[in-house]
Amino acid sequence: QKEVEQNSGPLSVPEGAIASLNCTYSDRGSQSFFWYRQYSGKSPELIMFIYSNGDKEDGRFTAQLNKASQYVSLLIRDSQPSDSATYLCAVTCSSGGSYIPTFGRGTSLIVHP
């Protein structure tokens, strides 16, 4: 069973701070890594994706991937109350010749004013 692990939180940060969300995965052959944001009662929406080791930045968001240590993280700079949501990590894991997205349970982020 391929696993994707996230701390369920909640992670509470003050407005303007950096929020750091972490995710570990068990399949060394994983190829693609995604972060989705999910507001309560809504569907997941893509925040970032990363395929190669290192950092990838998009506005206030930075995804970091370390394949040797099998973790991927998401940094949110200048956190805003509107960033309060559950963040889902997804990793494509090998399954019978295909690569299938496997999701973690999600980390709840609360940004307080």
Partner 1 sequence: NAGVTQTPKFRILKIGQSMTLQCAQDMNHNYMYWYRQDPGMGLKLIYYSVGAGITDKGEVPNGYNVSRSTTEDFPLRLELAAPSQTSVYFCASSPVSSNQPQHFGDGTRLSIL
Residues in the site for partner 1, rule: CB under 8 A? 4, 6, 8, 31-32, 34, 42-46, 49, 51, 88, 90, 92, 96, 98-106
Closest approach, Cβ 103 to partner 1, in A, equals 4
Closest approach, Cβ 104 to partner 1, in A, equals 5
Nearer to partner 1, 49 or 71 (CB): 49
Closest approach, Cβ 36 to partner 1, in A, equals 8
* Secondary structure letter of residue 39 according to DSSP: -
Nearer to partner 1, 3 or 78 (CB): 3
> In which region does residue 29 sit, left (phi positive, over 0), alpha (psi from -120 to 50) or beta (all else)?
alpha
* Separation in Å, CA 29 to CA 47, 57, 72, 78, 93: 23, 24, 14, 34, 7
Closest approach, Cβ 39 to partner 1, in A, equals 12
Nearer to partner 1, 60 or 99 (CB): 99
Q: Is 5 exposed, middle or buried (0-12, 13-18, 19+ CB in 10 A)?
A: middle
